[in-house]
Amino acid sequence: MCRTVDWLVLGCGVNVVSHPEDTLYPATHMTAHDPSVTAAAVLTGFVTRLLIWRDEWNLKGMTPLREAWLDRAKGLGDAIIVRSATTETTGRFLDLDDDGALMLERPDGTVIRIAAGDVFFEGP
């Protein structure tokens, strides 16, 4: 059902015990809201859930992951900014394709596929 994956690069940042002050958007850290949180507990929880979803992907393919992600996605249908190391693209967040790439509708109506980048939401 699922194509073989020889490698995967996954990037994720979680502010557990501190956060940067000079961010474009407001930031916080987890211990500011619950002092009992530890980096080890966050990592354990993250890896546990990641392995559950990996198993789901191996059994059923991308469809269940895509559906679950879209059910929880912030900004679906809204204007977003996507930044890579060399470009910045604005448009409306339409969907995820069958491979998990973001589908972005540009202001001119063209739809592009974005496989990597940092997503920012416009407005407060």
Please tell me the predicted confidence (pLDDT) of residue 78: 93
User: Which secondary-structure segment (H or E) carries 107?
Assistant: none
The Cα–Cα gap between 122 and 18 comes to 25
User: Which residue ranges in the chain fall short of pLDDT 70?
Assistant: 1-4, 123-124
Please identify which residue in the block is written with the tokens 């994720």. Answer: 12
| Domain assignments of the chain as residue spans, ordered by start | 1-61, 75-124
Q: Kindly report the pTM of this predicted structure.
A: 0.70
Please tell me the predicted confidence (pLDDT) of residue 79: 94
Structure tokens at 119: 């997503």
CA 25 from centre of chain: 16
Please tell me the predicted confidence (pLDDT) of residue 2: 54
Four-residue CA torsion sign, 96, 99, 105, 110: negative
Q: Identity (one letter) of the amino acid at 119?
A: V
**81-101 pLDDT per residue, tens:** 999 889 999 999 999 998 889
Instruction: Please give the CATH number for the structural domain made up of 75-124.
Output: 2.30.30.100
Quickly count: other Cβ atoms within 10 Å of residue 102's Cβ.
20
